[in-house]
Amino acid sequence: MSSQNDKYATPLSSRYASDEMSAVFSLRNRFSTWRKLWLNLAIAEKELGLTVITDKAIEQMRAHLEITDEEIVAASKQEAIVRHDVMAHVHVFGQTCPEAAGIIHLGATSCFVTDNADLIFLRDAYDIVIPKLVNVINRLSEFAIKYKDLPVLGWTHFQPAQLTTLGKRATLWIQELLWDLRNFVRARNDIGLRGAKGTTGTQASFLSLFHGNQEKVVGLDKRVTELLGFDIVYPVTGQTYSRKIDIDVLAPLASFAATAHKMATDIRLLANLKEVEEPFEKSQIGSSAMAYKRNPMRCERVCSLARHLGSLFSDAVQTASVQWFERTLDDSAIRRISLPSAFLTTDILLTTLLNISSGLVVYPKVIERRIKSELPFMATENIIMAMVEKGASRQEVHEAIRVLSHQAAAVVKEEGGDNDLIERIKNDQFFKPIWGELNSLLDPSTFVGRAPQQVENFVSHDVAKALEPFKSQINDTQVKLNV
């Protein structure tokens, strides 16, 4: 006997994604939304004078907006006969609402329900991910403030560079997330409805219904849009809304994927350096063989799924580019996959980043030790300037410290020893005039520039301004991962 365990199920919904995002793209929500569209079309048509639509028909439709499991099964069986999903559901809805059977889908084409429903789902999906992104930004901002003064070794080309602070490094992630938030909100607010446009977008069927009254046809388009809670209806369409809209919707998600991948990669590298780690639960197993391991599996998941999310953008670009004239059907199958996948994946990434940003573990002693191993080389310019102030020749000081630096580098690279440059300076009489100043010349906090002030200004101004409209959606709830 076959069971669900004998069928493939996408891990996006079965393993990782939140219930609320899975529900948006569920069969029940899809078919229930179709019913909502049919109801509002009938309401608008009745308001505009179509007497064939009765109050009883409206009442029956309103009473059965949420499709039942039995009706989904019945529609599936009907689709197997008629080979048309929308007409199968028109048939089943009509059986459930006999008073409305003759007017359901009146004047509409299939894309009235399928395309308008998709646009509703895309906006609803953005309404789920935007608050999660806001909370990721908020938690990382708290982390940045907490560690705004903690010096860390900076890296360029993954080679030791000037010092920065851990908080300043976090602002680099936050700034990109702020741009993602801007893009998310803009894309969400730009989503409109296809409206009531008819078979090829000419509204010919509705013009016929209203006996050539163009004002009523325009009014129908506007009223349906209002009833469904949208401010925008696309002024012209073919049979479908332009698939370029899908490009605009997925582009911010793909851009966010790059942000998430970069941030997670940074944390993975820091975990290797033992400076910062993602949360690690008490009973978590890092490796089946190596019991000591603390693998950065959350960040690895982020990188893995971010690559998938980024790749989905090309689906939208390629699909939009090959829509012939008023439409072709080669968009249908791929959109059923790529649009839900993009939002499910975004939802998973944000949930994972919320978990990571809520529990980052910092190891200041390891950070301090690494700074001490590199700081002597970085301090040479300060040492040169201090010696010059004591009356020494800059050229002579430069040559003396160059020789000592090469000797210390040989100890580190060839002998595997610690950086002993400062000890060599302390043992060289030439540098005696500044021996008493060496500790202050090597204070890491003097090498981080304006990093602490940059963090404070960035969080208090840029971040605060961006998050102000979302203050009511910020919370401190601990996020647990599904797996």
Active-site residue set: 157, 287
Please enumerate in sequence order all residues whose Cβ is within 8 A of that of 1, keeping only pairs 6 or more positions apart, or say none: none
**CB contact at 8 A, 117 and 34:** yes
* 8-state DSSP, 12: I
Q: What SS3 class is residue 380?
A: helix
Task: For the beta carbon of residue 199, count every other beta carbon within 10 angstroms.
Answer: 18
**Rg of the chain over all Cα atoms, to the nearest angstrom:** 31
How many residues make up the chain in this entry? 483
Please enumerate in sequence order all residues whose Cβ is within 8 A of that of 50, keeping only pairs 6 or more positions apart, or say none: 103, 106, 209, 210
Tokens of 206: 């509705």
Q: Distance of alpha carbon 318 from its chain centroid, rounded?
A: 22
Name residue, tokens 């991962």. 481
Three-state secondary structure string covering 420-459: CHHHHHHCCHHHHHHHHHHHHHCCHHHHCCCHHHHHHHHH
Tokens of 295: 């693998």
**CB contact at 8 A, 156 and 177:** no
Phi, psi of 479 (to 5 degrees): -100, 125
Instruction: Give the burial string for 447-463 (b: 16+ CB within 10 Å, else e).
Output: bbeebbebbbebbeeeb
**CB contact at 8 A, 338 and 245:** no
